[in-house]
Amino acid sequence: MNSIIQFATQLIRGHAAAPAAADVHKFHGGVHPNGHKLASTAQPIAKLAIPEKLVLPLRQHVGYIPKIKVSVGEHVLKGQMLAEAEGTLSAAIHAPTSGTITAIGEEVIPHPSGLPDMCITLTPDGKDAWATLTPVDWRNTDKKELVASLRASGIVGLGGATFPTHIKVRADGRSQVHTLVINAAECEPYITCDDMLMRERADEIVKGMEIVKFLLGAEHCIVGIEDNKPEATVSMTEACKSLANTSVKVVPTLYPSGDARRLIHLVLGIEIPHDKRSTDVGVQVFNVATVLAIYRYFAFGEPAVNRIVTMTGSVNKPQNFEVLFGTPLQNLIDAAGGAKTGTTHFIMGGPMMGFDLPTIEVPITKAANCIIAATPDLFAAPPPAMPCIRCARCADACPVNLQPQELYWFSKSDNFEKARDYNLFDCIECGCCSYVCPSDIPLVQYYRYAKSEIIAADKAREAADLARERNEFRLARIEREKLERAQKHAERAAAGKAESAKPENAAPEQTAAEAAKPAAMPAADDAKKAAIAAAVERAKALKAAAAQAGDAGNQPKETVAESKKPADKKPVDDEQAKKDKQALIAAAIERAKAQKLAAAQAGTTPKNVDNVSPAVQAEISEIEAIREKAKQTADTKDAD
């Protein structure tokens, strides 16, 4: 693969040395749809008035959604940053005019889904007051700083792809770009915004080319223009004279010559391998409008706040307008003299690659290069699709050299893996295959369907892999925790065993207990040992006393209780008190025995009537009387 790139690099170097000798290198396939461009080029570019309301979707570019920096009610100046680029692939959004932020919420955006998305609504104050702008002296500034500042400019590819521009010029030195190609082919029917821009502002475009050339470190610059734009070719050729190593190359009108890879092939004769980028062969492509925006940003500090939009089709005065981002579509239609009767819907982008707008209530975004008012006369409803007859006209028309008929079969039958194998993702959705299909099969729709299904499946697989990983980690964690707990239990059990064994057989167990104990607290251990020894002494003395008393029934319990007592008591006092208590208990037992004996002789239950007050005694006798009565009644009942 590297040898191919090297060969390709040599090839362009060779071409660059002798550009005049090189001819246009035709690519495979392509179609010739009717241009319809003349209608909108009759008038110069007009500036659209500031509307009453601007709705700025956060999703205006390829990549991550930017982070909102303003809040509702805040007053902003023209060019102030409203949302900041977040993540690598993202672009900032700026206020197109001065005014107040009146809402931040979901609005319908120009997207084929017709779904609402997060938007910032700005109500202009009519002053159109710029924020403080800081032009950049790009010739005397570090390239890294320039690229970082470009990240804050909000400039994206204005050809329609809306790829953040700062990514394309990143100065990481990974690939050496030697040729800058300026895409001015504008191959889609109806669209004339780049054509008009080149006619009117060629000098500014060339100044932008100089900046981009400097940023990329490119030696050569080639402007590729289709031969249906002679005025633009003349003005660009004139303007390009001021820039060294720059040439304008006229390419034959053939759709889709405006596709970056097709244009590189046309002007340089290089076919980029399908898994490589154009920078891998040392070429980078920029759209004319993007280059102009870069010039305005560096020369005047103006961020991306407007663009040229072609308003054409079934309107009274088709024309190109300079439109602030966020302008409602209705304002644009009104400026073009209103839509003619019979207009059914509006198309954003060209008729080949664009999509039908879900509603008229959508704003103009960075991607909106052209709005076409459609009528059934201009765009007849497609006749019902007929079966594929395997004529392979689509394969002849495919500019990417794919096999559209095969892709159609696989997509239609949901055989997505096979579609991927046939390089479905190399399809640029240009629509040439659908255009030539004699059976009127909406081929591109099938490819879009298959692509989005595959992307969704890939995302689901990624999520499943993440879930598997997290589940496995969780199971491992639970297992580990269980082991740890078991270990802790075992340790505690071992320690407890050693502890309980100590008092019974102090001398032999001492060493084992000591070994089990941590060696960190020897002093505490010594104190404990002394206490235990004292307790053992006491226990022995008690046992001896109990043996003397000759009443072993209550003794063991007493010793256990005693051993639990705090060890700070003096053993001598303790023994004395114990002996006294022992004597008392013995006396009580004697008394109880005597009572029991007396009760047995008298035939009544024993009563604890020693040392009771006269009141209690009276109560007891009362209860006795009641009991006696009850007994008597029970006896008489029994007799009955």
Which residues bind to another protein, rule: CB under 8 A?
A: 59, 109, 111-113, 115, 117, 384-385, 442, 445-446, 448-449, 451-453, 456, 460, 463-468, 470-475
Nearer to another protein, 116 or 217 (CB): 116
- Map tokens 């400019």 to a residue: 153
Nearer to another protein, 60 or 235 (CB): 60
Nearer to another protein, 475 or 623 (CB): 475
**86 Cβ neighbours under 8 A, 6+ residues apart:** 64, 65, 66, 67
CB of 467 to another protein, least distance (A): 4
- Map tokens 């076409």 to a residue: 372
Q: Tell me, what amino acid is at 75?
A: H
Q: Which of 374, 343, 368, 339 is nearest to 356 (CA)?
A: 374
Q: Please name the helix (run of DSSP H) or strand (run of DSSP E) that holds residue 238, with its range, or none.
A: helix 230-240
SS3 319: strand
**212 Cβ neighbours under 8 A, 6+ residues apart:** 169, 180, 218, 286, 291, 294
Nearer to another protein, 472 or 622 (CB): 472
Q: How far apart are CA 292 and CA 304, in angstroms?
A: 10
Nearer to another protein, 466 or 493 (CB): 466
| Tokens read off for 601 | 């002789």
CB of 92 to another protein, least distance (A): 19
CB of 431 to another protein, least distance (A): 14
Nearer to another protein, 152 or 385 (CB): 385
Nearer to another protein, 63 or 157 (CB): 63
CB of 110 to another protein, least distance (A): 10
256 cis-preceded (ω within 30 degrees of 0): yes
**419 Cβ neighbours under 8 A, 6+ residues apart:** 407, 410, 411, 450, 454
3-state secondary structure 567-588: CCCCHHHHHHHHHHHHHHHHHH
Measured over all CA atoms, what is the biggest interatomic distance in the chain, rounded to whole angstroms? 144
Nearer to another protein, 472 or 537 (CB): 472
Q: Is 618 exposed, middle or buried (0-12, 13-18, 19+ CB in 10 A)?
A: exposed
Q: How far apart are CA 594 and CA 579, in angstroms?
A: 23
CB of 166 to another protein, least distance (A): 22
Nearer to another protein, 271 or 453 (CB): 453
CB of 411 to another protein, least distance (A): 9
Q: How far apart are CA 636 and CA 97, in angstroms?
A: 114
Q: How far apart are CA 161 and CA 154, in angstroms?
A: 14
What crossing angle do the helices spanning 193-216 and 288-300 adopt, rounded to 10°? 60
Nearer to another protein, 456 or 587 (CB): 456
**393 Cβ neighbours under 8 A, 6+ residues apart:** 436, 437, 438
